[in-house]
Chains A and B, each alone.
Chain A
């Protein structure tokens, strides 16, 4: 697989990280849709977008892979897709606690 940061590397240096999906608004989404987002995967046949990790550099990127042929179509940095920082409002101001 070609890592966008490090170039071609043995597949043993990579770990799969799940489908690339948008996150529903946690304030307004229904419980059913949130559960779907957190727990369920589409598992489609064809070219899908997936998160992959290059372990040696702890670098997460996106790969487009054909689930029928296992061919990796292309790979690119996540910054190509996610261009804005996502932040969550914390009730009561600074510090979210645990």
Chain B
């Protein structure tokens, strides 16, 4: 299992795929109240090559939070969040977090890939005191798993499990597809790591293990592998 003594099961928060991560030989570090998989391979350079080719990473413990309601966008703007007018587009914040506008009345906030953004925490605290405002928080941090698929071969792999064309020429950076991935509902956001194409995938936590296995299976023919958050950070230049 892990070599650093951090055991996911002994910490308060657990990723829905922590058993899969441990089984795959993850090296865990303590962060965000749980154990995040920092790396898998002994050879860090090899793991970076994998991530450039095709890799799956688990972000589920990193901050993510949703908001719904008639006044969602106005309320978020008053809180200093940059949300544009177009649906199905993610808007980059100054701290690297993304505000993904899913619908006129729904926004999903995800932290930067290093997990340093304090935006979700700040907004969760702010929301609790604005009871009269029609913008209510949705606890996606607990309800949604969050994976990232990176690499030049990612779009080819997605073509097996997803009807939307995610090739980089057809699906721009920060564009969102809310669609069926391996026959389950998911939110896909393109957010490249430097010059490596990358896609966030978020969906119902109850199906996290299913989709994790589906994606690994779909990735096999493209020589895909696993990447830890340390590898993802290095690719993103963070």
Asked if B103 is an interface residue, CB under 8 A from chain A, the answer is yes
In chain B between 161 and 180, which residues have their CB closer than 8 angstroms to a CB of chain A?
Answer: 163-164, 177-180
User: Which residue from chain B places its CB closest to the CB of A77 in the assembled complex?
Assistant: B104
* B186 neighbours in A (Cβ, 8 Å): 56
A55 at the interface (CB under 8 A from B): yes
User: Do B178 and A56 touch across chains, with their CB atoms under 8 A apart?
Assistant: yes
Q: A56-B180, A57-B103 are in contact. Are A6 and B163 (CB under 8 A)?
A: no
Q: How far is the CA of A9 from the CA of B162 in the complex (A)?
A: 10
Decide yes or no whether B231 CB sits under 8 A from chain A. Answer: no
Given contacts A6-B178, A12-B180, is CB(A59)–CB(B164) below 8 Å? no
Q: Is the CB of A13 within 8 A of B103?
A: no
**What CA separation (Å) do A55 and B178 show in the bound complex?**
10
Q: Is the interface of B mostly helix, strand, loop or mixed?
A: strand
Is the pair B179, A6 in contact by a Cβ cutoff of 8 Å? yes
| CA A55 to CA B184, docked complex, whole Å | 10
With A56-B178, A56-B179, A56-B180 as known contacts, state yes or no: A9 contacts B164, CB within 8 Å: yes
Label chain A's interface by main secondary structure: mixed
A73 within 8 A of partner (CB): no
Assess whether B180 is in contact with A5, with CB atoms less than 8 Å apart: no
Are A59 and B163 in contact, CB atoms less than 8 angstroms apart? no
Residue in B163, B177, B179 with the greatest tally of chain A CB atoms within 10 Å: B179
Is B163 within 8 A of A56, CB to CB?
A: no
Assess the B103–A5 pair: CB atoms within 8 A: yes
Question: How extensive is the interface on chain A, given as a class?
Answer: 10 to 19
Q: When the two chains form their complex, are residues B180 and A59 in contact, meaning their CB atoms are under 8 A apart? A: no
Q: Which residues of B have CB within 8 Å of A56?
A: 178-180, 185-186
Q: Is A10 in the interface zone, CB < 8 Å from B?
A: yes
Type the 1/0 row for B168-201, where 1 means its CB is closer than 8 Å to any CB of A. Answer: 0000000001111000011000000000000000
A7 contacts which chain B residues (CB < 8 A)? 88
User: B73-90: contact bitstring with A at CB < 8 Å (1 yes, 0 no)?
Assistant: 000000000000001100
Q: Does B135 contact A (CB under 8 A)?
A: no
> Is B100 part of the binding interface, using a Cβ–Cβ cutoff of 8 Å?
no
Question: A6: nearest residue on chain B (CB-CB)?
Answer: B178
A10 to B163, alpha carbons, bound, how many Å? 7
**B38-80 interface mask toward A, CB cutoff 8 Å, 1 = contact, 0 = none?**
0000000000000000000000000000000000000000000
A57 B178 Cβ-Cβ under 8 A: yes
Most buried by B among A7, A12, A56: A56
Residues of A within 8 A of B (CB): 5-7, 9-10, 12-13, 54-57, 59
9 closest pairs, A vs B, by CB? A56-B185, A10-B163, A57-B178, A56-B178, A56-B179, A13-B180, A56-B180, A6-B178, A5-B87
Complex A-B: 27 CB contacts under 8 Å: A5-B87, A5-B88, A5-B103, A5-B178, A6-B88, A6-B177, A6-B178, A6-B179, A7-B88, A9-B164, A9-B179, A10-B163, A10-B180, A12-B163, A13-B163, A13-B179, A13-B180, A54-B178, A55-B180, A56-B178, A56-B180, A56-B186, A57-B102, A57-B103, A57-B178, A57-B185, A59-B103
